[in-house]
Amino acid sequence: MQTTTPDTIVKTTEDSIEQHLSGLATLRQEIGKVIVGQQAVVDQMLICLLARGHALLEGVPGLGKTLLVKTLADCTELAFKRVQFTPDLMPGDILGSEILEEDHSTGKRFFKFQRGPIFTNVLLADEINRTPPKTQSALLESMQEYSVTVGGETMALPEPYFVLATQNPIEQAGTYPLPEAQLDRFLLNIHIDYPSEQEEIDILRATTGGSTAKPRPCLDAAGLLAMQRLVREIHISDDLYRYVASLVRATRSGEGGDSQLQQWIKWGAGPRAGQALILAAKARAFLQQRLSVTRADIQALLLPVLRHRILLSFHAQADGVTVPQVLEKLLAAVPEPGQ
């Protein structure tokens, strides 16, 4: 009879970690077959995936937001659905609805729930700010509770469940800005910028020829769920816990922080921001093949985590101060661990 020793368990865990890290490297390679450049954006999407969070992608038209999400889905063996948000979209179009059916053997009629596109693993909410708040709010419960309630019945969503929403930051006429309560449900707010000159040349070369690259699936649901559990176990020191708490609390009025920050920020971040920052930092460490969070992980993710969680005051807007400038000031104002 074979016995299991502590050394065997440790060796099994190490082998599992190596296998998952190898799978992540393959996933990045497959995404790179279609997506040229945008490495920081791809990494932030993977961080959301590993941290069991949701992402809000912002960028002008033509930068490949939808293609990026579709490619991620193609590289995984996960169910994928896309919903194009429009002004006439109703909550039932997302959640599903009860339809009247007839049993041909008995002639009896009955209601059957027809599941909507929200019952999937990867949901692309395209141009989420194009639909009214009533429909936007249909996503709230699913993003927080990973379940939906229809007709008084609560139904669990498939695991893993990942919402990627896109919006155009320029065209705001006829749009419905997301309320702060829903913005707070997104782990990261990812901005997609224009490609470099060489990247744009590579894009033109890759997309105007006779054939296009096709990624192969290299990650299944079980593998992703295992990685999400491993990310939760990534070590973070007490000093970094305090550092994250100090960063988040410094955005709030009445916390005795930097006076200029207090003048610039109308509404600060809540505790969920600190949770998001720690989970995202753990996922970044794992993505970079480390089993411990560093100060650099936290600082690198401060902008995408807090960008959509603070409201600028009238003074900041009048002075032309932007959110990135406020967060740069925040990093300078809050002492780093060990100082």
> Between these two residues, 298 and 173, which has the higher pLDDT value?
298
Question: In the chain, what percentage of residues exceed pLDDT 90?
Answer: 14
Q: What is the pLDDT of residue 3?
A: 45
Looking at residues 87-110, what average pLDDT do you find? Answer: 79
- Tell me what pLDDT residue 293 has: 92
pLDDT (0 to 100) of residue 55:
92
Global pTM reads 0.85
Say which residue the tokens 């429009």 belong to: 86
In the predicted structure, residue 6 carries a pLDDT above the cut 80:
no
Each as own residue / partner, the long-range contacts of residues 107-111 (CB below 8 Å, 24 or more positions apart, any chain) are none
pLDDT of residue 302: 93
C-alpha to C-alpha distance for 263 and 269, rounded to whole angstroms: 15
Span 13-24, average pLDDT: 75
Q: Where are the alpha helices (DSSP H) in the chain?
A: 6-32, 39-50, 65-74, 91-95, 133-136, 140-145, 180-183, 197-207, 221-232, 238-249, 259-264, 271-287, 295-306, 314-318, 323-333
Q: Could you tell me the pLDDT band of residue 257, with boundaries at 50, 70 and 90?
A: low
How crowded is residue 111: how many other Cβ atoms within 10 Å of its Cβ? 11
Tell me the pLDDT band of 262, cut-offs 50, 70 and 90.
Answer: confident
As a whole number of angstroms, the distance between CA 308 and CA 186 comes to 9
Q: Give the tens place of pLDDT for each residue, 174-191.
A: 677 887 878 888 999 998
Which residue did the predictor score with more confidence, 293 or 107? 293
For 265, half-sphere exposure in the C-beta direction (CA atoms, 13 angstrom radius) is 29
Average pLDDT over residues 261-289: 89
Does residue 295 surpass a pLDDT of 90? yes
The rounded percent of the chain whose pLDDT value lies above 70 is 91
Average pLDDT rounded to a whole number, residues 261-283: 88
Has residue 61 got a pLDDT over 80?
no
